[in-house]
Amino acid sequence: MSAQPRSEKRSGTERAAILLLSLGEQEAAAVLKHMGAKDVQRIGAAMTQLQNVSRQEVMEVLNQFTATVEEQTSLGVGVDEYLRKVLINALGEDKAASVIDRILFGRSSKGLESLKWMDARAVAELVRHEHPQIIAIVLAYLDPDQSAEILEQLPGWLRADVIIRIATLDGIQPSALQELDQVIEKQFAGKSNVKSSVLGGVKAAANILNFMDSTKEAAVVEEILKVDENLATKIQDLMFVFDDLAEIDDRSMQEILRAVPGDRLLLAMKGADEAVKEKIYKNMSQRAAEMLRDDLEAKGPVRLSEVEAAQKEILAIVRKMAENGTIQLGNKGDEYI
């Protein structure tokens, strides 16, 4: 059996970074300007961390990219439609929507969209004195991991109120969203056009809470329980936590193990339930499982915050894979994702 090309062991983000680094500066910039803030940050971080990339590996990435494009391109397919399909396959339908808008309709990063490029603390300062309903709409619009960081910067008493409003938000009129977009845009100058969007809901609230620090997340849920026990239960039912990995199918677990860095997995397992550990061992080769057990036993005490951070990173990878259709998370995950 031939050896697996080294490039295939790289994550999709790392392969994208290698591809962009192999292009000229102007060409790479032309690609990046069509990406969302989170994608640019993720690929940019991968670029800075790449080391010892051989010429052979670069050629493998380029060949894989060329083969993928050749397979997906066909005569008679309009450019717009082709672009939509490629981006949806690459980013998932929700993520691809804003990128498609920017490319096909000349939409720039202004108004609400510009907040995606800002530091969480800066966004929190911008919205902290607004009505909780406005804050809820803004956080529902942003990516859940960024929204979680912003929520952590807000006062404790405000967090539960905002999450409840997100969970009970049943979409928003395009005119109202455009008005909010224009208000924010005035602080940056320029104009912006906002298309109608379905924002909020219990799923959006659960998604944001999943990215929060565990202690703060628990405090928010506890506050929601005091106000609306039924709503709190619905949110908790849709939250996917690390111990839920024990319930996914074996094929999905194998895909996850291929995507997760070994050092993060080792750290995350320090605080994992035994059922999760056994699920992971079961889906590895016997030798790999033994080595992981040995490494886990040999690893000394680790801060709980570091373990939780590693688990959050892995859950972010898992959610991304589920969004892309690479894995299935079962009944609970299907509802949540």
Last residue of a domain, one of 107, 129, 158: 107
Residues 6+ apart with CB under 8 A from 126: 115, 118, 184, 187
pLDDT for the residue 280: 92
For the stretch 104-152, pLDDT in tens is 433 444 577 778 777 788 888 888 888 888 888 888 888 888 888 899 8
Let me know whether 313 and 279 are in one domain.
yes
Q: Quick one: CA dihedral 138, 144, 146, 151, positive or negative?
A: positive
Let me know whether 228 and 132 are in one domain.
yes
Let me know whether 50 and 90 are in one domain.
no
Task: Say how many C-beta atoms besides its own lie within 10 A of residue 260's C-beta.
Answer: 19
The CATH number linked to 3 is 1.10.220.30
Q: How many domains does the chain have?
A: 4
Let me know whether 41 and 87 are in one domain.
no
Of the pLDDT bands very low, low, confident and very high (cuts 50, 70, 90), residue 53 is confident
Let me know whether 232 and 250 are in one domain.
no
Let me know whether 68 and 87 are in one domain.
no
For the stretch 263-316, pLDDT in tens is 889 999 888 888 889 999 999 999 989 998 888 888 888 888 888 888 888 888
Residue 291 host element (H or E): helix 286-298
Burial category of 47 from C-beta neighbours within 10 Å (exposed 0-12, middle 13-18, buried 19 and up): middle
206 vs 221: CA distance, rounded Å: 10
Q: What residue numbers bound the domain in which 213 lies? A: 111-238
141 vs 180: CA distance, rounded Å: 11
Torsion of CA 45, 318, 255, 22, to 10 degrees: -20
Let me know whether 140 and 211 are in one domain.
yes
Let me know whether 56 and 126 are in one domain.
no
Last residue of a domain, one of 238, 268, 289: 238
Q: Is 172 strand, coil or helix?
A: strand
How high does pLDDT run on average in the chain?
Answer: 76
